[in-house]
Amino acid sequence: MDIAKIRNVAFVGHGGVGKTSLVEAILFACGASTRLGRVDDGTTITDFDPDEIKRKISLNTAVGFADHQGHRLNLIDTPGYGDFVADARAGLRVAGAAIVVVDAVAGVQVQTEKVWKFANDFALPRAIVVNRLDRERADFFRTLESLQKRLKGRLVPMHLPIGAENGFAGVVDLIAMRALVLADGKIKEAEIPADLVESARSYREKLTEAAAETDDDLLAKYLEEGSIGEPEMLAALRKAIMSGDLVPILASSATRGIGIGPLLDLIVKEFPSPADAPEVEGTEPRTKAAAKRAADPKAPLSAVVFKTISDPHVGKLSVFRVYSGTLRSDSQVFNAARDSRERIGHLGWLSGKTQKPVESLGPGEIGVVAKLKDTLTGDTLSDEAHPVVLPGISFPEPAISFAIQPKTRGDEDKISIALHRMAEEDPTLHHHYDPETKQLLVSGMGQLHVEVVVERMKRKYNVDVSLLPPRIPYRETVKGRAEVQGKYKKQTGGRGQYGDTWIRVEPLTRGGGFEFVDDIFGGAIPRNFIPSVEKGVRDCMKRGILAGYPVVDLKVTLYDGSYHDVDSSDMAFQIAASMGLQKGFMEAKPCLLEPVMNVEVTAPSEGAGDVIGDLNGRRGRIVGMEPDGDVVAVRAQVPMSEMLTYESSLRSMTGGRGGYSMEFSHYEEVPNQLAEKVVAAHRAEKDKH
C-alpha cells in the first residue's frame, strides 16, 4: 500500500454528537458497506458490541476502513462518555489527524474540551465538524461562537450551512465556492443560493486571511495587495491545517448524509499521511538510547497496540498500527518491554467486528492479530534484532471502587478469571482482593463503567454478581494505659487448664504497629510459654476487640504471672493473654481509626467554592489549590467513608465537568459520635449470627 495514500483519522468528541453515525455515513459513502446502519437500530459497523447496541452509545474505540479515490481511510471511532473517554486517547495515539465532532445544539461540552486536550498532547492536526444541524434549535453560528470562545486555536469555517434545523439541506464549500445540496435523496452540486452569496464571500475572505496569517511572507503580500492567488491560498491552507495552525470547521448531518462528501475531500486533500509525519521516537530497550524509526516498509518493524479485545470464545485480539517496517502473517515479533517473543498468525484489516485477511501490513496501516500471549494495550511490537519501545498510552487512575459479590456460591474463581480477562481489554479497570475486609474490590472510572463491567461479566463469562459499597478498613487502638490480669483456670475432672498473665497495654505512635515486650523475671512464667502469650495477644489483635477491626499501634508488656506444673499449657496461656488484652484494651481508652485519603479534584474555576464547601462538609481538610486556566485543582485530605458517594455529588455540582482521583494517605482517629455508630453496627451484625 502506498504510504502517502493512507489516512488514519480519529473521530472524537462528547458522547451523542454523532461520531459513530458520521463514521457509518463515510463507510457507506465509500462503498465499504452496502447499507447505512443506524445507532438507534444497533446496526452500525463501529458500535458492534452488544453492550453498545443495548445502550446505544459507544463504549470502545473501534475501527472501520474504506477506500476513497485511491486512498485508504482508517476511521477510528471513539467513545465520548466520561467513563469511557480514556479510550479516545488510545485512538488518538495512533491517528494522524482528528475530527472533533460537536453537536449543533449543545456546542462545546465537557468531553469536547477533554478530547481537545488529548489531541493537543499528540500535537494532532484536526478539523471540527458541527453535526446534527438538522435538529430543532441547531445553530451553526452560535456553535461557532462557542467553539471560538472555549477552544484555543485559529478556528475558521470552511463550510456554511444551507437552510437550518429541519430545513438544513446542504453546505456551501468555501474553497470551491460551490453549493452541495440534498435533492431527491442525492447530493447535487448547485449554485450558491442568492441569499448566501454575500456571507459566503465574506467567510471565504476570513478563511483566506487566516491561511495567510500562518505564513509571514504571504501575510505581507496579502496586506499589500489585498488578496492572494488561489493556488497560494490553497497551499497555505493545507500547510496550516497539517501543522495544526488552522482548524477548519465543517457542517454536517450524519443521518441525512449532508456534508459527508466534503468531509471526505478534507481528509484526503488536507490531512497528512503517515509519510508526512516525522520519524517516531522510542528507546532501544537494552541501551535505553533514543531510537528513531522512519515510515519505511524496509526499516525494522515497529507497531503499537492501541486496543485489546478479549472474547471468551475467540480469545484475545490486538489492534495495532504499524509505524515502520512490514509485519507479515506467520512470523515472529518481539515485545521488548515484556521480553516476550510473540507469534503472528493471520493478519487482518478491521472493520468493526469483521476482519479482512491480509498477508502483510506496512507503515501507517492499522490491523488486527489474534492470540498474542503477553502483549497488552500500549505495547510496542518490534523486530528482535532491532528492538524498540515506542511511547505507550497512559490511562487515568480509577476514581471509584465497589465490592463485588457472587450471587452464586463458589463462583469466586470464575469471577477472578473474568476480571483478569476484562482488565486486559480495559486498562481503566482495576481489581484486587482485600484480605482484611475479605472483599473483592473492582475499581473503574465511574459508576456506569463498573455497571457495564458487571453486565459484561454476566453476558460473556456467565457469572452473576452484585455490587456493594466497599467496606471501610477501620483500625482499633488505645489512647491510654492499663495494667491488667488475664487469668484462665479450668478444673473439671481430668487434667485442668491454667494460665495467668499480667500485662501492660500502651499506645505506640501512629504507624507504630505492634510491639511485644517480655519483662518476666524470676520465672513467674516458664520461658516456653512466653511465645504462647505473644501469640494469644496477636490473635486477639487480629480479630479486633471494639468493633471487629484489627488493633494497631499497640505495645503490650508481659511483666508478671503464675503457672501450674501440670495444668499449664500453650493453649491455656494463649487464652489467658487474650482475655487480658481484651480487658486491658477496654480500660486503656480504646478508639477507632479511619483511613484518610489524599483527594485531588479538578473543577471549573467558577465551581471551586462549591467543591471546597462540599469537601469541608465531608470532614475534609483542604491542603492546596492550583488554578490551571479555566479549571482549578483542589487537593484535600478526606476520610474514606465520606468519599463513597462522591462521584454523583461532584457530577451534579460541576455539571459533569469535574473529575477526581484519590489514594490512601494515613489513619486518623474517628470522631466519637461516628465511632459509636461503627461499634453499634458491629454489635448488630454480631447479634445476627
Ligand X SMILES: Nc1nc2c(ncn2[C@@H]2O[C@H](COP(=O)(O)OP(=O)(O)O)[C@@H](O)[C@H]2O)c(=O)[nH]1
Based on the shown chain and the rule CB under 6 A, indicate whether residue 19 belongs to the binding site for ligand X. yes
Burial 251-280 (b: 16+ CB within 10 A, else e): bbbbbbbbbbbbbbbbbbebbbbbbebeeb
Phi and psi at residue 260, in whole multiples of 5°? -75, -45
- What whole-number distance in Å separates Cα of residue 196 and Cα of residue 564? 107
Closest distance of CB 424 from Mg ion, Å:
23
Closest distance of CB 81 from ligand X, Å:
8
Residue number with CB closer to ligand X (57 or 591): 57
Q: Which stretch binds ligand X (CB under 6 A): 18-26, 341-349, 350-358, 590-598?
A: 18-26
- Residue 196, judged by CB atoms within 10 A of its CB (0-12, 13-18, 19+), counts as middle
Q: Quick one: what does residue 248 bind among Mg ion, ligand X, none, with the CB cut-off 5 to 8 Å set by partner type?
A: none
Residue number with CB closer to ligand X (57 or 86): 57
Based on the shown chain and the rule CB under 6 A, indicate whether residue 615 belongs to the binding site for ligand X. no
Based on the shown chain and the rule CB under 6 A, indicate whether residue 57 belongs to the binding site for ligand X. yes
- What whole-number distance in Å separates Cα of residue 570 and Cα of residue 128? 77
Q: Could you say which of 18, 37, 427, 584 contacts ligand X (CB under 6 A)?
A: 18
Closest distance of CB 107 from ligand X, Å:
14
Q: Quick one: what does residue 169 bind among ligand X, Mg ion, none, with the CB cut-off 5 to 8 Å set by partner type?
A: none
Based on the shown chain and the rule CB under 6 A, indicate whether residue 428 belongs to the binding site for ligand X. no
Residues contacting residue 135 through CB under 8 Å, at least 6 positions apart: 104, 105, 165
Closest distance of CB 91 from ligand X, Å:
12
Q: Could you say which of 8, 20, 74, 602 contacts Mg ion (CB under 5 A)?
A: 20
Based on the shown chain and the rule CB under 6 A, indicate whether residue 37 belongs to the binding site for ligand X. no
Q: Quick one: what does residue 568 bind among Mg ion, ligand X, none, with the CB cut-off 5 to 8 Å set by partner type?
A: none
Interhelix angle for 447-461 vs 412-425, to 10°?
120
Residue number with CB closer to ligand X (38 or 564): 38
Q: Which stretch binds ligand X (CB under 6 A): 126-134, 450-458, 515-523, 646-654?
A: 126-134
Residue number with CB closer to ligand X (92 or 643): 92
Based on the shown chain and the rule CB under 6 A, indicate whether residue 82 belongs to the binding site for ligand X. no
Q: Quick one: what does residue 112 bind among Mg ion, ligand X, none, with the CB cut-off 5 to 8 Å set by partner type?
A: none
Residue number with CB closer to ligand X (88 or 393): 88
**Per-residue cell: 138:** 441547531
Site of grid cell 509525519: 277
Based on the shown chain and the rule CB under 6 A, indicate whether residue 20 belongs to the binding site for ligand X. yes
Based on the shown chain and the rule CB under 6 A, indicate whether residue 98 belongs to the binding site for ligand X. no
Residue number with CB closer to ligand X (86 or 254): 254
Based on the shown chain and the rule CB under 6 A, indicate whether residue 132 belongs to the binding site for ligand X. yes
Residues 409 and 422 sit within 8 Å (Cβ to Cβ): no
Based on the shown chain and the rule CB under 5 A, indicate whether residue 255 belongs to the binding site for Mg ion. no
Based on the shown chain and the rule CB under 6 A, indicate whether residue 273 belongs to the binding site for ligand X. no
- What whole-number distance in Å separates Cα of residue 268 and Cα of residue 136? 32
Residues contacting residue 108 through CB under 8 Å, at least 6 positions apart: 102, 146, 147, 149, 150, 151
Residue number with CB closer to Mg ion (62 or 596): 62
Q: Could you say which of 10, 39, 156, 601 contacts ligand X (CB under 6 A)?
A: 39
Based on the shown chain and the rule CB under 5 A, indicate whether residue 58 belongs to the binding site for Mg ion. yes
Based on the shown chain and the rule CB under 5 A, indicate whether residue 19 belongs to the binding site for Mg ion. yes
Q: Of 94, 70, 77, 96, which is closest to residue 13 (Cα–Cα)?
A: 77
Residues contacting residue 377 through CB under 8 Å, at least 6 positions apart: 90, 305, 306, 307, 308, 393, 425, 427
Based on the shown chain and the rule CB under 6 A, indicate whether residue 80 belongs to the binding site for ligand X. yes
Q: Quick one: what does residue 630 bind among ligand X, Mg ion, none, with the CB cut-off 5 to 8 Å set by partner type?
A: none
Closest distance of CB 44 from ligand X, Å:
7
Regarding beta strands 6-13 and 97-103, do their DSSP bridges make them parallel or antiparallel, or are they unpaired? parallel
Based on the shown chain and the rule CB under 5 A, indicate whether residue 71 belongs to the binding site for Mg ion. no
Closest-CB residue for ligand X? 18
Residue number with CB closer to ligand X (253 or 477): 253
Based on the shown chain and the rule CB under 5 A, indicate whether residue 569 belongs to the binding site for Mg ion. no
Based on the shown chain and the rule CB under 6 A, indicate whether residue 169 belongs to the binding site for ligand X. no
Residue number with CB closer to ligand X (167 or 278): 167
Q: Could you say which of 8, 21, 380, 569 contacts ligand X (CB under 6 A)?
A: 21
Residue number with CB closer to ligand X (133 or 484): 133
Based on the shown chain and the rule CB under 6 A, indicate whether residue 131 belongs to the binding site for ligand X. yes
Based on the shown chain and the rule CB under 6 A, indicate whether residue 581 belongs to the binding site for ligand X. no
Interhelix angle for 570-587 vs 530-543, to 10°?
50
Based on the shown chain and the rule CB under 6 A, indicate whether residue 254 belongs to the binding site for ligand X. yes
Residue number with CB closer to ligand X (131 or 308): 131
Closest distance of CB 596 from Mg ion, Å:
39
Residue number with CB closer to ligand X (20 or 654): 20
Residue number with CB closer to ligand X (14 or 421): 14
Based on the shown chain and the rule CB under 6 A, indicate whether residue 15 belongs to the binding site for ligand X. yes
The length of the chain in residues reads 689
H-type helices in 301-439, by residue range? 412-425
- What whole-number distance in Å separates Cα of residue 530 and Cα of residue 409? 41
Beta strands in 184-223 (DSSP E): 186-190
Amino acid letter, residue 357: P
What DSSP line would sit under 490-503, residue for residue? E-SSSS-EEEEEEE
Residues contacting residue 464 through CB under 8 Å, at least 6 positions apart: 406, 407, 408, 411, 458
Q: Return the C-alpha torsion angle 365, 368, 374, 376, nearest 10.
A: 70
Size of the site for Mg ion (CB under 5 A): 3
Q: Of 687, 626, 682, 638, which is closest to residue 664 (Cα–Cα)?
A: 638
Based on the shown chain and the rule CB under 6 A, indicate whether residue 60 belongs to the binding site for ligand X. no
Q: Is the dihedral of CA 422, 425, 429, 434 positive or negative?
A: positive
Based on the shown chain and the rule CB under 6 A, indicate whether residue 159 belongs to the binding site for ligand X. no
- Residue 339, judged by CB atoms within 10 A of its CB (0-12, 13-18, 19+), counts as exposed
- What whole-number distance in Å separates Cα of residue 558 and Cα of residue 534? 9
Closest distance of CB 11 from ligand X, Å:
8
What DSSP line would sit under 437-478, residue for residue? TTEEEEEESSHHHHHHHHHHHHHHH---EEEEPPPP--EEEE
Q: Of 83, 42, 69, which is closest to residue 353 (Cα–Cα)?
A: 42
Residues contacting residue 391 through CB under 8 Å, at least 6 positions apart: 281, 282
Closest distance of CB 349 from ligand X, Å:
22
Size of the site for ligand X (CB under 6 A): 22
Based on the shown chain and the rule CB under 6 A, indicate whether residue 58 belongs to the binding site for ligand X. yes
Tell me how far the alpha carbon of residue 71 is from its chain's centroid.
33
Q: Could you say which of 8, 9, 16, 636 contacts ligand X (CB under 6 A)?
A: 16
H-type helices in 78-166, by residue range? 86-94, 110-121, 140-150
Closest distance of CB 6 from ligand X, Å:
23
Helix (H) / strand (E) containing 665: strand 659-669
Residue number with CB closer to ligand X (74 or 253): 253
Based on the shown chain and the rule CB under 6 A, indicate whether residue 17 belongs to the binding site for ligand X. yes
Residues that bind ligand X (CB under 6 A): 13, 15-21, 38-40, 57-58, 80, 101, 131-132, 134-135, 253-255
Residues that bind Mg ion (CB under 5 A): 19-20, 58
